[in-house]
Structure 1
Amino acid sequence: MANLVSTIAFFWTMVDQHLENKDFSGEEKILLKDRLIPGFYLSFVAEKEKDKVRKELIQQQSAELLSIIGQHDGLISGINPEKTASLIQSAKECAQFFQRSSSCVKGRNAQLSLRHHGIHRLSDSHLQAQTVIHNVHIKREDNTTPALRFFEAEHGNLLEHLLNNMDYPPRPRNRLAMAA
């Protein structure tokens, strides 16, 4: 129970730090904490839920919390569109702070499991190389890499970086001359 309390305290500390860096009023921060962040969090949870009945219940709760976005006479209606977009973006970012621990590494673990299935022991350097390839080189259909999605910043081409920074390997030994 203490670990759960610590996790929740850490989450709200992260949210407070994130909101301190934004120029939101006190009312807007309350709106974020009470309605928008929980609403978007439930929306993210509903996407991952496999049980249809629970998924529908979670989506209904999320829609109820986020209903203030579309209301013309609601809490958010008096805020200008740029500020509203900023509030929504911040709420989504804060909702992403609190994730199931395995969700962010599930794809990576699946890749390692596939590679490890045929080879019983991968060296540390091989694991590091596989991690770099997974994070920087492998792309989804939308042409994004895990590093791009995580850091929200472009990175250089892995192959070009290797060609510019690595020496060519030495010529292989002549095995016929050594055998004689």
Structure 2
Amino acid sequence: MAAVVDLWWEWVEQSLSVRDCERSTGDWVKQYLLPAHYWHQQSVRTKNPTLNATYQIAAQQAQASLMRHPITTAMSCEQFTHWQTWATSMVTKFQRTSSPVEGRNGYLSQIHHNRRGLSTRRLRVMTTIHNFHLQRSDGSTAAERLFGKPSPDLFEWLVQQMPVLPQARRGKAAAKARTPFLPTVPA
């Protein structure tokens, strides 16, 4: 995730360098404009009421700091609108660059996107594998951390639950190999 964030900041820097803006304007964009747009977008996107309240407070504080800044007050309405549009697009791109690396939800989202849907059965299987098989670097699974005790090995348990598999079907007796009869040809 950190590499993706660094990449995004490089993208911001490159975009600012192309615009040939002054250093003070670039600092204003990075320290005031982008945070205001980021927190606004977070407050709009989140559905969690507790997080939403926190994000709205952060958005209001960032917006107030932005509006008090001398560069903001000195800027024409047209210039400010231009920078707002740019900041919105950059913040949206930040969201898109971070989404593929958001762990299990990012993985499920990618699977859903690639296959155009997940069956309920497949989703249950993937959830079980995630909770009982995938391990952190310390060797614990999500189920072990939740229940406070080790869980049995998932695949050992699965093998014990499976019935004995039937024997393979017998195929028809192989036809006798026939060598083609070639009549002799006079020389």
Q: TM-score when scaled to structure 1?
A: 0.52
Are 2:91 and 1:92 equivalent residues in the alignment?
Answer: no
Which residue of the partner structure matches residue 99 of structure 2?
101
Question: Which structure 1 residue ranges, 5 or more long, are not aligned?
Answer: 121-180
Q: Residue in 1 aligned with 2:17? A: 20
- Counting aligned pairs with the same residue, the percent is 14
Shift in CA distance, 117/51, structure 1 to aligned 2, threshold 3 Å:
closer
1:70-115 residue CA offsets vs partner (Å, 9 max, x unmatched): 55x84401111121111111211221221141599959729800xx
Give the C-alpha shift of residue 24 in structure 1.
Answer: 2.3
TM-score when normalising by structure 2: 0.50
> Structure 2: 5+ residue runs without aligned partners?
123-187
Q: What one-letter code is carried by the residue in structure 2 that aligns with 1:9?
A: D
Runs of 4 or more consecutive aligned structure 1 residues displaced over 3 Å after TM superposition: 68-71, 102-108
Question: The residue matched to 2:113 in structure 1 has which SS?
Answer: helix
Amino acid at match of 2:11: M
Cα distance in 2 for residues equivalent to 1:111 and 1:45:
28
1:68 Cα offset (Å): 4.6
Between the two proteins, the alignment pairs up a number of residues equal to: 113
The two structures, once aligned, show a CA RMSD in angstroms of: 3.2
Q: Is the 8 A contact 1:41 1:95 kept in 2?
A: yes
In 1, the alpha carbon distance for the partners of 2:54 and 2:63 equals: 14
Equivalent position of 1:57 in the other structure: 54
* Larger CA Rg, structure 1 vs 2: 2
Alpha carbons of 1:40 and 1:53: their partners in 2 closer, same or farther (altered >3 Å)?
same
**Structure 2 Cα separation of the partners of residues 13 and 55 of structure 1:** 29
